[in-house]
Structure 1
Amino acid sequence: MGAERVRRWESGALAHAVSDPFGQGPLPWLRGSEQYFGDTGQVVPWYADEAMARGGSGRPRTADDVHHQIKGFVSPGAAEPGGAVDFHITVDPPQQFSVDVYRIGHYGGDGAAKITTSPRLSGIVQPPPLTADRTVSCHHWWLSWRLQIPSYWSVGAYVAVLTTLDGYRSHIPFTVRDDHPADLLLLLPDVTWQAYNLYPEDGRTGASLYHAWDGDGRLLGEAEAATTVSFDRPYAGAGLPLHVGHAYDFIRWAERYGYDLAYADARDLHAGRVDPARYRGLVFPGHDEYWSVPMRQAAERARDGGTSLVFLSANTLYWQIRLGPSPSGVPDRLLTCRKRRGPGRPALWRELDRAEQQLLGIQYAGRVPEPSPMVVRNADHWLWEATGAGEGDEIPGLVAGEADRYFPRTALPEHRRRILLAHSPYRDGEGVVRHQETSLYRAPSGALVFASGTFAWSPALDRPGHVDARVQRATANLLDRICKRD
């Protein structure tokens, strides 16, 4: 393949950006001059600028999936203080590299804090990824570094920033969790992150549940994509999941205001490592589209046991998936979703007579090509208290990416009370007027279940250029009520 054909992939082109206008967000450990404002007047990630990616003025350069200057993944993706996280990293050409570990949080507005730095490590070129039926796996990569997590580290969302001696950089996210009680448990959607991962985004071998390549380097659609993807591989491009910014937006805001947070991954929910009784609420902060049967059962048990559920995005609980072991037997390292292909039952929850509305109160309606205002409904409800929002007021740009709504012909969950808090018109890709809705209901157990019904809710909490004080106050009203068990 010629240089011109692969160049569009060298910086990790976001194949799915059309469905997520917010993307990964700015990288807080590169604040200040390393960020810039795009054509929309909003801050965008440093690595999206080609001049910066080339490393001008001594800036670090972004590793890519064509040359693999430095790329890696961790196993497991979440560990407890006192445990360990294993890093599997490839470096080409072989040279020394270091790992800076950051914890996402408010930190006085910095957005993250550096927690530790590895010693200088020796990098090697790992074997090429293995592929079978479009499943790409690097489970055969050698161990590069083992991070022993000190007992005093705080639970949270962490990012390892990998940097080679000659200045190339990549990222690996991981989670530090424990089972201590807290007011709120934040569940990072690592299952959905992996479903969208197109690694290696090289125009040849990479595949996600949405895309793959043909022999001429053309991007193929869902009908020819992978049905199984592996957690044993880096994330495409700069090494961060496409939708990771939604979670980080919520974390920065919630830690700024002192909410008592615990952390876990979706695979922890799947594996039974989450005891909902330890928390007053479970928070799902970002795009959380892919759910296994055990994940849904755990969420329903939480709600029925009195633990509230907070869904801050849209298109949640859409596809049913299975998690299986890696070739070496490590559990939950392979994600399978056949969608509408091959033998067996359909994979949409709503086609399995388990529509997502029966848990969320609303469900996925479609994509939103251009951001539209959220129109406030039932403004006298306590969620909108002290926000300044009146009936019919519009919150600009808050319906974006994808949207949910109430489906009248679909069963609702059992509830004591139920209310829709927004009813917002927007135009779909064909120009047809659709509506987004935001839902809240109280289950018979007393648990509250909130669903924002839009991708734009979490970014409105703490994303530069997107912050809205009304959304911040409404979210605080909700979480305060949950934490006080009101």
Structure 2
Amino acid sequence: MTQQNDFDKILLAQSLNTSQTLFTTQVPGFEWSDGVSYELGMKFQSAKSGQVTAIRHWKAVNETGNHIGRIWSATGSILGSVTFSNETASGWQQQDLSTPVSILANTTYIVTVSCNSYFGVTNNALASPVVNGDLSSVADGNNSVFGSLNSFPTNSYQNSNYFRDIVFVVGNSLTKVSGDNQTGTAGSALANSFVVKATDSSGNPQSGVTVNFAITSGGGSVSSASAVTGNDGQASTVLTLGTTAGITNTVSATASDIGSVTFSASANPANTNAIYLENQKPGTTDWQIPQVGQSDIAGYATATSVNKGGSLPIKVSLAQAGNYTIDVYRLGYYGGQGGRLVLSSGQLNGITQPACNFDSSTRTVSCENWSTSYTLQVGNDWTSGLYIAKLTDQRSGSKSQVVFVVRHDSERSDILFQSSFNTLQAYNLSGGYSLYPEQSIGGQRAFKLSYDRPFAQHSTLSGSNPYNNIILSWEYNMVRWLESQSYDISYVTNVDVHANSSLLQQHNIFLSVGHDEYWSLEEFNSVQSNSINKAFFSANSVYWRVRFENSSTGVANRAMACYKDATDPVAPTNKFRSPENNKPESALKGNMYIGGRWQNFFFDGFDFVVKNSTHPYYANTNLNDGDKLSGLVGFEWDAINLNASPSGLVVLSESVQSQNFDQAELEGFPAGTDPRISQAVSFTSASGAKVFSTGSIQFMWGLDSEGVSGPREDTRIKQMVVNILADMGARPLTPGSGIIVP
């Protein structure tokens, strides 16, 4: 019988769906011998269960002697073998197995044929899967395989194809019919059954087949661990999900000698919240931009925040008139991606806006004279949070960002997260002036700042200047962690709390994060007098007093004044601890700003040293007094003021900066106070509110250190924060591994 006749028979058999081979017209690139006998093989799988009825191999022209073919399991057990007879001089050889070998769908096997000296080979031919019909080679970077003669081969060289093959006949199959990828409530039964179907090689249903259902991950139970297929070939079970939310539950369905399939289902918490549901949506990293807002395009929103269902005008200026786009993202966890695309504007026509107005008496730059470029319509289904509108100049590719918050004023949530927009504005050097002389033109700082101008900030942490990146340097990491745990959160800005103290009434915890340095007196008084619990995961916060003014067209709270001395003609906009204000920040949060280290400050820091480890906030952390948590204190830090400490104050850390520092802020402290010391504290205020303050700007990097040089996440800190928030009235729906929720 000729090789061509053999090949014609193979094609005919495959056309009749009776047998299949992986290789058809392929031939080796060359023949090779190094004088050594080998076991040469290939890993393969089938998409359907069935039987291997024969083994094939390509015989090199100079190859002689006997050849033995074998089918192996992935772990090296011989499942079947045959000695070839009546071989031709070269080319494809085929030998039937006396007993066909049954194989399961989507399971790896190895076919080998011995080689005495010469063999055909094509290098790198199996780097990618070869697929024919239901058969495929396995592209795992370690295929084909070779080894000592008559031994299980485990070596591989350049994913070479040694042209070992099988003849395969589809047998009975087990397939999924319905019920896969459901979502239900943790601890509850799914709405729909997992249904499988057993069929023969012609697709006819097979009755009387026993199917075993087993939970493989996520816990829970199945209504039937074993079921027999009916006349329609189907069997089913119902999964009751495990009690842990936020994970995937899997169930295998197996029919002996036929195959196995796996069903998946997701478990939602019994009581979901908007943050949990939001973070189930697909995320992206496209919100990031690699550089500080570029000169070709800039813009700002006409308010720091907008309520759900409202509208937000955005003003954009291009260096050259042309087309641009706006893509709006919400920041969160989203499986670690950090953001989600919410809206894309499509192509817009942009102009070069007029020069911004400048008030030389206060060095205030205001771009209120720009025209509105785009009005963002915020849907009623948008989740409260931190948002970024990414502006892209289509001509140059330049990008910049507009940062804003979406509120939900009627929403009741456990946590009210205040974003530090006042501090972001204070360091904003857009137009050449901020509240800092070293950042301002000619070393002359502004006394008033307008919110009607672009922010000079950007998205990535590495190598960035945190002064221009307040939200994304510190708040972002806290947001990622809180939302990964599915805490119930609403978001506002300093301006919102200043203007509407009633926002504090609907929440259990007020949260200040990172660098929350600039507050108005109205905000200070509202937060202090309210019985809402307060958690300051921040330092240098509530340091400077500011006041707000209307814009030139009468829009409230669009200008922020901070003279930083007693010369403000309206109110003493200087330090809260100053004699004119006599409201030291420690009266609100228990500690107050004392020191900072700015040289290499962004990824620098010193250790958080535990004190009073028997306090309930340290429960289940296994921390003891004196234990150190690396790199969580800096770049500015707070300490207790013995002259102005609330009663009942408990010191929870006492950390000493051993390196040089750049500023010691000792105003209001007793003589002899050591500015190197940082202290975290807790106490209960006169209003009955529980208060915690970390005394460090970068404490939250112990929760999430995405983008931070030198990761410093620590499960013990996560447990500590879970304890603090639970004590104040907020618990995670999806706590991290190993976390115990009080």
Same fold (TM over 0.5): yes
2:312 aligns with one of 62, 66, 85? 85
1:151 aligns with one of 380, 387, 392? 380
CA deviations on 1:190-238 (whole Å, 9 max, x unpaired) are 11110110113xxxxx100013678xx66x2xxx210101100001254
Task: Please tell me whether the aligned partners of residues 362 and 407 of structure 1 are also in contact (alpha carbons under 8 angstroms).
Answer: yes
Structure 1 pair 439/63, CA: closer, same or farther in 2 (3 Å)? closer
CA deviations on 1:101-141 (whole Å, 9 max, x unpaired) are 11111111111111110121101100112211221110000
Q: Secondary structure of 2:522's partner?
A: helix
2:299 maps to what in 1? 72
Q: Distance in 1 between matches of 2:502 and 2:608?
A: 34
Q: Secondary structure of 1:152's partner?
A: coil
2:588 maps to what in 1? 359
2:557 maps to what in 1? 332
Q: Distance in 2 between matches of 1:430 and 1:135?
A: 29
1:425 maps to what in 2? 656
1:158 maps to a residue whose letter is Y
Structure 1 pair 394/155, CA: closer, same or farther in 2 (3 Å)? same
Structure 1 pair 168/300, CA: closer, same or farther in 2 (3 Å)? same
Structure 1 pair 63/291, CA: closer, same or farther in 2 (3 Å)? closer
1:188 maps to a residue whose letter is S
- TM-score, normalization by structure 1: 0.80
Alignment pair present for 1:408 and 2:642: yes
Alignment pair present for 1:207 and 2:207: no
Deviation at residue 254 of structure 1 after TM alignment: 0.7
1:225 maps to what in 2? 445
Q: Secondary structure of 2:435's partner?
A: coil
Task: Please tell me whether the aligned partners of residues 296 and 398 of structure 2 are also in contact (alpha carbons under 8 angstroms).
Answer: yes
2:697 maps to what in 1? 455
2:498 maps to a residue whose letter is H
Q: Distance in 2 between matches of 1:454 and 1:213?
A: 24
1:474 maps to what in 2? 720
How much identity, in percent, do the aligned residues show?
Answer: 30
1:350 maps to what in 2? 577
CA deviations on 1:47-71 (whole Å, 9 max, x unpaired) are 25xxxxxxxxxxxxx642xxx3110
Deviation at residue 470 of structure 1 after TM alignment: 2.1
Structure 1 pair 284/29, CA: closer, same or farther in 2 (3 Å)? same
Task: Please tell me whether the aligned partners of residues 367 and 428 of structure 1 are also in contact (alpha carbons under 8 angstroms).
Answer: no
2:422 maps to a residue whose letter is V
Alignment pair present for 1:137 and 2:362: no
Q: Secondary structure of 2:526's partner?
A: helix
Deviation at residue 392 of structure 1 after TM alignment: 0.1
2:407 maps to what in 1? 177
Q: Distance in 2 between matches of 1:286 and 1:479?
A: 17
1:98 maps to what in 2? 325
Q: Which moved more, 1:225-234 or 1:276-285?
A: 276-285
CA deviations on 1:145-203 (whole Å, 9 max, x unpaired) are 00111111111111111111131111111111012111111111111110110113xxx
1:257 aligns with one of 485, 492, 495? 485
Alignment of 1:313-332 (within 5 A): 313-332=538-557
2:364 maps to a residue whose letter is T
Task: Please tell me whether the aligned partners of residues 457 and 469 of structure 2 are also in contact (alpha carbons under 8 angstroms).
Answer: no
Q: Distance in 2 between matches of 1:375 and 1:288?
A: 23
Q: Distance in 2 between matches of 1:299 and 1:97?
A: 41
Structure 1 pair 467/332, CA: closer, same or farther in 2 (3 Å)? same
Task: Please tell me whether the aligned partners of residues 129 and 138 of structure 1 are also in contact (alpha carbons under 8 angstroms).
Answer: yes
2:298 maps to a residue whose letter is K
Deviation at residue 247 of structure 1 after TM alignment: 1.4
Q: Secondary structure of 2:638's partner?
A: strand
1:278 maps to a residue whose letter is Q
Q: Secondary structure of 1:262's partner?
A: strand
Q: Which moved more, 1:448-457 or 1:430-439?
A: 430-439
1:267 maps to a residue whose letter is V
Deviation at residue 429 of structure 1 after TM alignment: 2.5
Alignment of 1:182-331 (within 5 A): 182-200=413-431, 206-211=432-437, 220=443, 224-236=444-456, 238=458, 241-245=468-472, 246-272=474-500, 274-302=502-530, 305=531, 307-331=532-556
Q: Which has the higher helix share?
A: 1
Task: Please tell me whether the aligned partners of residues 102 and 114 of structure 1 are also in contact (alpha carbons under 8 angstroms).
Answer: yes
Q: Distance in 2 between matches of 1:85 and 1:276?
A: 23
Deviation at residue 277 of structure 1 after TM alignment: 2.4
Q: Which segments of 5 or more consecutive residues in structure 2 lack a partner in the other structure?
A: 1-282, 461-467, 599-603, 664-673, 732-741
Alignment pair present for 1:437 and 2:679: yes
Structure 1 pair 239/259, CA: closer, same or farther in 2 (3 Å)? closer
Task: Please tell me whether the aligned partners of residues 368 and 399 of structure 1 are also in contact (alpha carbons under 8 angstroms).
Answer: no
1:174 maps to a residue whose letter is F
Q: Distance in 2 between matches of 1:458 and 1:363?
A: 18
Deviation at residue 297 of structure 1 after TM alignment: 1.1
Whose relative contact order is higher, 1 or 2, with alpha carbons under 8 Å and at least 6 apart? 1
Task: Please tell me whether the aligned partners of residues 459 and 469 of structure 2 are also in contact (alpha carbons under 8 angstroms).
Answer: no
Q: Distance in 2 between matches of 1:392 and 1:208?
A: 41
Q: Distance in 1 between matches of 2:417 and 2:662?
A: 36
Q: Distance in 2 between matches of 1:239 and 1:251?
A: 14
Alignment pair present for 1:165 and 2:394: yes
2:352 maps to what in 1? 125
1:322 maps to a residue whose letter is R
Deviation at residue 460 of structure 1 after TM alignment: 2.4
2:276 maps to what in 1? none
2:636 maps to a residue whose letter is E
Q: Distance in 2 between matches of 1:433 and 1:347?
A: 21
CA RMSD of aligned residues (A): 2.3
Q: Which segments of 5 or more consecutive residues in structure 1 lack a partner in the other structure?
A: 1-27, 35-44, 49-61, 201-205
Task: Please tell me whether the aligned partners of residues 420 and 470 of structure 2 are also in contact (alpha carbons under 8 angstroms).
Answer: no
Structure 1 pair 484/170, CA: closer, same or farther in 2 (3 Å)? closer
Task: Please tell me whether the aligned partners of residues 683 and 690 of structure 2 are also in contact (alpha carbons under 8 angstroms).
Answer: yes
Q: Distance in 2 between matches of 1:350 and 1:442?
A: 21
- TM-score, normalization by structure 2: 0.53
Structure 1 pair 129/442, CA: closer, same or farther in 2 (3 Å)? same
Q: Distance in 2 between matches of 1:137 and 1:46?
A: 25
1:232 maps to a residue whose letter is D
Q: Which moved more, 1:464-473 or 1:246-255?
A: 464-473
Q: Distance in 1 between matches of 2:439 and 2:334?
A: 41
Structure 1 pair 239/109, CA: closer, same or farther in 2 (3 Å)? closer
Q: Secondary structure of 2:391's partner?
A: strand
Task: Please tell me whether the aligned partners of residues 433 and 445 of structure 2 are also in contact (alpha carbons under 8 angstroms).
Answer: yes
Q: Distance in 2 between matches of 1:280 and 1:110?
A: 29
CA deviations on 1:363-388 (whole Å, 9 max, x unpaired) are 00010345111111111111122223
Task: Please tell me whether the aligned partners of residues 293 and 456 of structure 2 are also in contact (alpha carbons under 8 angstroms).
Answer: no
Q: Secondary structure of 1:186's partner?
A: strand
Number of residue equivalences: 414
1:398 maps to what in 2? 632
